[in-house]
């Protein structure tokens, strides 16, 4: 049993490599097929006053659902409609201001082609994505995207594998082209992903997470070092702001500064915080993206930051633990 394992494993890997190569070739072949029809498809969607209705049956339907989700999350309102259900009432979800994107590898899927007369009557523009440019679906579309493949990755050349991969890649190409044309930004993306880690990284700002008011550690410039240490202990953030008479941040005193102080001074009695503080200290504004604050902390190997307003006055404190708890990291 043990002696058979290496050869069995090798055969499995060889099969996987063949599959990946075939699918890589299928996707690569799409580049040469991008022509005026792709431009026309983008123009139809950009001019759409409603939504992009994506439809497909079977495996093409699964790909259609993913394409609809990708379009919707990148600035193009879209949703999936099952073609079988569309013929039994769900066609009411399609309005004259919409554009339909229909997927079918053969271009002859009965449930999809059954929608053609209805779409023509409603004057809804049709974009097709098929593997056969001469198919019914391709011929009746205002723009046809050719996603045909020489063969499926399936050794029987039956199971939709390379063809679905090609259709998925073409859908991504369409979504990204539209995204760039619309000038879609990272903040726009975050607005449609507020619950995920992507949204948190892109939307949360330092002001949403910082400690402020009575939770802001601070001592006046010239304070005895003992007072600074008591403030650090009381607030539990590993540092304290040191504030000048005009209210501006003069520097910070951190746990790391304490270690350096102990190395350099045998007697802490009589030391004031401004003699041993870090000046001016790393600082951010409340409007700084939380993700930028993470990068700053990591670059300088620190665990906390002072938050200052436009005048340089401390208004908050941010700790790495706050970023961890929020899901930004």
Distance CA(121)–CA(88), nearest Å, equals 17
**Please, which pLDDT band fits residue 92 given cuts at 50, 70 and 90?**
confident
Give the closest residue to 37 by CA, choosing from 166, 209, 177.
177
Radius of gyration, CA atoms only, the chain? 30
Q: pLDDT at residue 198 above 70?
A: no
Give the closest residue to 293 by CA, choosing from 255, 323, 259, 248.
323
Note whether 318 and 305 are within 8 A (CB).
Answer: yes
Note whether 199 and 193 are within 8 A (CB).
Answer: yes
Distance CA(319)–CA(326), nearest Å, equals 11
Structure tokens at 303: 């665990």
- pTM (predicted TM-score): 0.64
Arithmetic mean of pLDDT over the chain: 90
**Please, which pLDDT band fits residue 195 given cuts at 50, 70 and 90?**
low
Mean pLDDT of all residues in 26-34:
96
* pLDDT on residue 194: 54
Q: pLDDT at residue 269 above 90?
A: no
* pLDDT on residue 184: 72
CA dihedral sign of residues 186, 125, 160, 32: negative
* pLDDT on residue 190: 58
Phi, psi of 51 (to 5 degrees): -130, 165
- Indicate the DSSP class of residue 33: G
Note whether 306 and 317 are within 8 A (CB).
Answer: yes
Mean pLDDT of all residues in 45-70:
96
* pLDDT on residue 204: 81
Note whether 316 and 211 are within 8 A (CB).
Answer: yes
Chain segment 301-314, per-residue pLDDT in tens: 999 999 999 999 99
Chain segment 213-264, per-residue pLDDT in tens: 999 999 999 999 999 999 999 999 999 999 999 999 999 999 999 999 998 8
- Indicate the DSSP class of residue 301: T
Q: pLDDT at residue 91 above 50?
A: yes
Domains 5-184 and 206-326 share a fold: no
Torsion of CA 172, 22, 20, 154, to 10 degrees: 100
The structural domains of the chain, with segments of one domain joined by +, span: 5-184, 206-326
- Bridge partners, residue 146, by sequence: 130
Q: pLDDT at residue 2 above 80?
A: no
* pLDDT on residue 210: 94
3-state SS of the chain: helix, strand, coil percent to 5?
50, 15, 35
Mean pLDDT check: name the lowest of 29-38, 98-107, 184-193, 268-277.
Answer: 184-193
Give the closest residue to 167 by CA, choosing from 115, 114, 116, 106.
106
Note whether 158 and 164 are within 8 A (CB).
Answer: no
Note whether 204 and 197 are within 8 A (CB).
Answer: no
CATH number of 5-184: 3.40.50.10490
Mean pLDDT of all residues in 144-166:
93
CATH T-level assignment (fold) for domain 206-326:
CBS-domain (3.10.580)
**Please, which pLDDT band fits residue 1 given cuts at 50, 70 and 90?**
very low
Give the closest residue to 253 by CA, choosing from 268, 231, 234.
231
Mean pLDDT of all residues in 154-160:
87
Structure tokens at 158: 């039956």
């Amino acid at each position: 049993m043990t002696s058979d394992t290496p050869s069995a494993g090798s055969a499995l890997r060889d099969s996987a490599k063949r599959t990946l190569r075939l699918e890589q070739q299928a996707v690569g072949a799409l580049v040469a097929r991008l022509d005026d029809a792709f431009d026309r498809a983008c123009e139809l969607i950009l001019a759409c006053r409603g939504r992009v209705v994506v439809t497909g049956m079977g495996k093409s339907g699964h790909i259609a659902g993913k394409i609809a989700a990708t379009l919707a999350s990148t600035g193009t309102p879209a949703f999936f409609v099952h073609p079988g259900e569309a013929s039994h009432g769900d066609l009411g979800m399609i309005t004259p201001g919409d554009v339909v994107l229909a997927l079918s590898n053969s271009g002859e899927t009965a449930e999809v082609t059954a929608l053609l007369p209805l779409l023509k009557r409603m004057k809804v523009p049709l974009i097709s994505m098929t593997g056969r440019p001469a198919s019914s679906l391709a011929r009746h579309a205002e723009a046809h995207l050719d996603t045909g493949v020489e063969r499926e990755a399936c050794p029987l050349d039956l199971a939709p594998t390379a063809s679905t991969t090609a259709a998925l890649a073409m859908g991504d190409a369409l979504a990204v082209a539209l995204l760039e044309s619309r000038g879609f930004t990272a903040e726009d993306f975050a607005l449609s992903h507020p619950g995920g880690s992507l949204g948190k990284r892109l939307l949360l700002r330092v002001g949403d997470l910082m400690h402020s008011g009575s939770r802001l550690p601070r001592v006046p410039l010239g304070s005895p070092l003992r007072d600074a240490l008591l403030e650090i202990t009381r607030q539990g953030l590993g540092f304290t702001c040191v504030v000048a008479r005009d209210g501006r941040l003069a520097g910070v005193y951190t746990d790391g500064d304490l270690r350096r102080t102990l190395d350099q001074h045998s007697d802490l009695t009589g030391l004031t915080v401004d003699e041993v503080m870090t000046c001016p200290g790393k600082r951010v504004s409340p409007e700084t993206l939380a993700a930028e604050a993470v990068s700053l902390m990591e670059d300088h190997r620190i665990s906390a930051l002072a938050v200052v307003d436009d005048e340089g006055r401390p208004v908050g404190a941010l700790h790495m633990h706050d970023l961890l708890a929020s899901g930004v990291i």
